[in-house]
Structure 1
Amino acid sequence: MWKRVIMSFFAMALLVFDGGVDVKAEARKTLSEIDKKLKLLNKPAIKSIKSEDGDIIDCVDIYKQPAFDHPALKNHTIQMRPNTIFASETSTTEHESSPAMLTQTWQKSGSCPKGTVAIRRVKRKELLNADSLEHFGRDGPRTSFAVNTTNDKSNFFGSFPAPEHSYANLYATENNYIGARGDINLWDPLVESYNEISSAQISLKSGFVENFESIEAGWMVYPNLFNADGQPRLFIRWTLDGYRRTGCINLNCAGFVQTSSVIALGSTFSNVSTLHGPQFQINIRIDHDPSTNHWWLHYYNEVVGYWPAEILCYLKEKAAIVAWGGDVYSKNVKPGHPSHTTAYMGSGEAASELFGRANFITNIRIIDYSLQLKYPDPAFFVVDEPNCYSALIYKAHPKSEPYFYFGGHPDNNCVYNKKYLMKRKMIS
């Protein structure tokens, strides 16, 4: 009997030992894959800058940036500036005039030389936090609407389920947009967990059903992707198939061609807004260049780069829809459910709190085939969880600049939301 017990003990020990070897082998494999991914994402730097916020900015040869890993860009010729530059306005509001360009934290520690682009280095711990290496930088909200480029308004918006996404957006839907811009109020919203996102952005979309295309830019808080902190960071995102398999946030996949040595995507800002305190905003412009069909991103007057025509289809010549607003992504966005996330949208204050408390976007403009920079008219806003978040278009007086306010944070009333709500309002 004891012999059988001893043999059983050794058999169990062998199994445990073998299991340990398997675990270690799997760990080595994972670390090897992470190192391979890091090498793919972090291109060799001509110069590196250590920022006081913990980021490292690599100054990468403009011709060796991640964009050119995309097979469609193998023979792409870099364009440094758009051939067509549309009219621009000086950003002015009733609360402050001509705001200065909001700097990024890393810029205090150095600058990148001419011929390079400023790229935030991806850290190993950020890859370790990812759900998967394959989808690193692709996590996040999907739009709740599909876009149809036909003129049939009854089919323009199609239901597209996004159970982990909540938004408050202002929409322009006239199907012929070649530019959009706005000043986005900057906050540092609280999120419940590291894998949640709170963002504010401008997006342009076109396409059909689940295969719509989208390009967008603004600021986001996303601890899992950015250094495990809650600081807002400049971001871009794009997709060719409704965020299912293509595209990503910033330069975490090949596609967007950066031209700026001054602005680093994914970097923090030198200031953020505070309740009843100073208000800061970032100026975002996205314009189409009809001579090349590239879409150009401007941060204030700095040309950051472009989404090249080679990676686009429906968006190659125009956008069918433009959206301005806020998004919250969480696995606990569950309308009517007690476990709904408490993540803030914007400042966390309701839209009705207005300037100094609520998040806003102002100087909202589009460019259409008239080639005129103007307010979108008609336009409407949508809040899909009005018991959790809110939106409001506000004018202090008839001739003042419209402000699109949005935001809030869920409380006990949030779980009682049972229906989808659409609100419409002209802003002209």
Structure 2
Amino acid sequence: MQSEDGDIIDCIDIYKQPAFAHPALRDHKIQMAPSYEPTAEPMAATRPVRGKTLRNRYDRSSMTLASQIWKKNGTCPEGTVPVRRIQNGLLEANSPEAYRRYKSIHPTKQLQDDENPNTQLPNRSKAMLLTLGNIYSGAKADIKVWDPFVESDDEFSTSRVSLQSGPYYDFESIESGWAVNPRVYGDKKTRLYVYWTVDGSKKTGCFDLTCPGFVQTSNEIALGASIYPISVVDGLPYQITIYIFKDPNTSNWWVQYGEKINVGYWPHGLFTLIKSGAESVEWGGEVYSLKLGRSPHTATEMGNGRYADPIFGNSGYIKRMRILDNSHILKFPEWVSTYADEYNCYDVYYISDYVEDPELYFGGPGRSYRCP
């Protein structure tokens, strides 16, 4: 299918998708649907806090789930999966160069580095909410969709939810959300993505279906395809709902989109550490650039380029953040902490008091009077 945004979507036989070229999946049998889908945490209409009644700042009826442009032309037939065609001349997302451009640092290392305010981790800047101290088998989020400016083709900006396990120098990670990543996708459109690595992105790391690993089961969602509509300042808010969870019977890690569409899964055979559960969960934004931590700073934006705006919500934000633990019930974590690598460039604001549900706001313009 030719999408109006220029993408070409191929409908590929589900048994001939790229995943099965991975050595660990040689005799893999496709799991067509998760065997178990945990339910959401029950929420009261109001809850008293410090003698006051919480105000309902989050009305899901006012949020609209964003879709994908290619779906205007239909969907792929049953028994096939939609795969975005990689155009000739673009950097393939499974190349070593792409791995390096998405290299990250485990959040436990980040907390250690935050004790030294002079430490600037190389080439990436995060503004996040983090939870640690448990074994997590799922994480969920409603993520507002924006189209941030990305200054250079070798830079990117993402808003996502991520689960990680292992030491900071050799961790395993799975994540999903939206990204503007011209080096991988060839343009500056906002796109739905999934990503995984088993060695801190040193030698492994893969976006979407561009290399063997992730097994897609849905014929409705094309990973790497552009998202529409996009939120505008003071206009209608649009979001994507992402839920990553581990099937307790198969230990495969599923990605669910928009409450009901199970996009596919990372088979447990890809992993060593995270197959038994994640050690941490992150929600928030990330910018990659070679011009971080020095002047002139990159002008690549996080969120929509505005600093965290908890008053009007005109910034990056994530709501209805949930984790899944041994209780098998989605709930907000008992302990969380915020951090920002470059607070003057990209900041973060977390609200938990006097609201029905905790809210995370984040973003920034990069280069500005506060971030020269």
Q: Please give the TM-score of this superposition, normalised by the length of structure 2.
A: 0.89
Say if 2:41 and 2:331, in contact at 8 Å, map to a contact too.
Answer: no
2:216 corresponds to 1:258: yes
Once the 2 structures are TM-superposed, how far is the Cα of residue 210 of structure 1 from its aligned partner? 1.1
Give the letter for the 2:301 counterpart: Y
Q: 1:259 to 1:126 in 2, by over 3 A?
A: same
2: CA distance between counterparts of 1:181 and 1:376? Answer: 11
Opposite residue 152 of structure 2, the aligned amino acid is: S
Please tell me whether residue 239 in structure 1 is matched to residue 197 in structure 2.
yes
Unaligned runs of 5+ in 1: 1-48, 149-153, 416-428
> Which of 315, 318, 324 lines up with 2:277 in the alignment?
318
Is residue 15 of structure 2 the alignment partner of residue 58 of structure 1?
A: no
Contact kept? 1:146, 1:208, Cα under 8 Å: no
Tell me how far 1:376 sits from its aligned partner. Answer: 1.1
- 2:331 corresponds to which of 374, 379, 385: 374
Shift of 1:137: 4.5
Give the drift of 1:100.
Answer: 4.7
Tell me, yes or no, if the aligned pair for 1:145 and 1:157 is still in contact at 8 Å: no
Query: Distance in 2 between the 1:233 and 1:108 partners?
Result: 16
Distance in 2 between residues matched to 1:294 and 1:156, nearest whole Å: 33
Q: Distance in 1 between matches of 2:162 and 2:243?
A: 10
* Distance (whole Å) between structure 2 residues aligned to residue 175 and residue 106 of structure 1: 39
- Does structure 1 retain, via aligned residues, the 8 Å contact 2:94–2:210? no
Q: Which one of 129, 133, 142 corresponds to residue 170 of structure 1?
A: 129
Q: Give the distance between the partners of 1:220 and 1:305, measured in 2 at CA.
A: 19
- Are positions 1:138 and 2:99 aligned together? yes
Aligned ranges 1:70-109 → 2 under 5 Å:
70-88=22-40, 94-98=57-61, 99-109=63-73
Larger RCO, structures 1/2 (Cα 8 Å, 6+ apart): 2
Q: Secondary structure at the match of 2:306?
A: coil
Of residues 357, 362, 365 in structure 2, which corresponds to 1:406?
A: 362
Instruction: Give the partner amino acid of 2:105.
Output: S
User: Secondary structure at 1:360's aligned position in 2?
Assistant: strand
Task: Say if 1:400 and 1:139 are closer, same or farther in 2 by CA, change over 3 A.
Answer: same
Matches of 1:351 and 1:115 in 2, distance apart? Answer: 43
CA separation in 2, counterparts of 1:343 and 1:100? 26
- Establish whether residue 68 from structure 1 lines up as the match of residue 26 from structure 2: no
Aligned letter for 1:323? E
Distance 1:108 1:139, change over 3 A: farther
Q: Which amino acid aligns with 1:56?
A: I
1:363 to 310, 313, 320: 320
Question: TM-score by structure 1 length?
Answer: 0.78
**Structure 1 position 194, deviation (Å):** 1.3
In the alignment, is the contact (CA less than 8 A) between 2:40 and 2:331 conserved in 1?
no
How many Å separate the matches in 1 of 2:80 and 2:179?
Answer: 25
> Does structure 1 retain, via aligned residues, the 8 Å contact 2:94–2:211?
no
1:142-153 alignment runs, 5 A limit: 142-145=103-106, 147=108
Q: 1:146 to 1:202 in 2, by over 3 A?
A: closer
Q: How does 1:12-411 map to 2 (within 5 A)?
A: 49-88=1-40, 94-98=57-61, 99-127=63-91, 134-135=95-96, 137-145=98-106, 147=108, 162-228=121-187, 230-300=188-258, 301-333=260-292, 335=293, 337-352=294-309, 354-394=311-351, 398-410=354-366, 411=368
Using the TM superposition, name which of 157-166 and 201-210 deviates more. Answer: 157-166
CA distance in 1, matches of 2:89, 2:224: 16
Q: What are the superposed Cα offsets for residues 405-426 of structure 1, whole Å, 9 maximum, x if unpaired?
A: 00011213324xxxxxxxxxxx
CA contact (8 A) 1:147 1:206 kept: no
Q: Are the structure 2 counterparts of residues 350 and 119 from structure 1 closer, same or farther at C-alpha, using a change threshold of 3 Å?
A: same
Cα shift readout 1:103-140 (whole Å, capped 9, x = no counterpart): 1100001210000011100000313xx6x983264353
Please tell me whether Structure 1 or Structure 2 has the larger radius of gyration of its CA atoms: 1
Task: Call closer, same or farther: CA 1:137–1:50 in 2, change over 3 Å.
Answer: farther
1-structure distance, mates of 2:13, 2:246:
25
Distance 2:115 2:249 in 1: 32
Alignment-mate amino acid for residue 57 of structure 2: E
CA distances 1:11-65 after superposition (whole Å, capped 9, x unpaired): xxxxxxxxxxxxxxxxxxxxxxxxxxxxxxxxxxxxxx10000000110000110
Alignment CA distance shift 1:156-1:139 (3 Å): closer
Structure having the larger proportion of residues in helix:
1
Count of paired positions: 355
Across the aligned residues of Structure 1 and Structure 2, the Cα RMSD in angstroms comes to: 2.5
1:369-424 alpha-carbon deviations (Å, 9 max, x no partner): 122211111101110111111000125x6242221000011213324xxxxxxxxx
- Which residue identity is paired with 1:318? G
- Please give the alpha-carbon distance, in whole angstroms, between the structure 2 residues aligned to 1:322 and 1:214: 10
C-alpha displacement of 1:161:
7.4
Q: Partners in 2 of 1:157 and 1:245 — Cα distance?
A: 27
The CA deviation at 1:209 is 3.2
Output the CA distance in 1 between the equivalents of 2:263 and 2:98.
19
Contact 1:287 1:296 in 2 (8 A): yes
Report SS of the residue matched to 1:350: coil
Identity percentage over the alignment? 41
Q: Structure 1 counterpart of 2:85, which letter?
A: R
Q: Offset of 1:155 from its aligned partner? A: 7.8
The answer for unaligned runs of 5 or more in structure 2 is 46-55
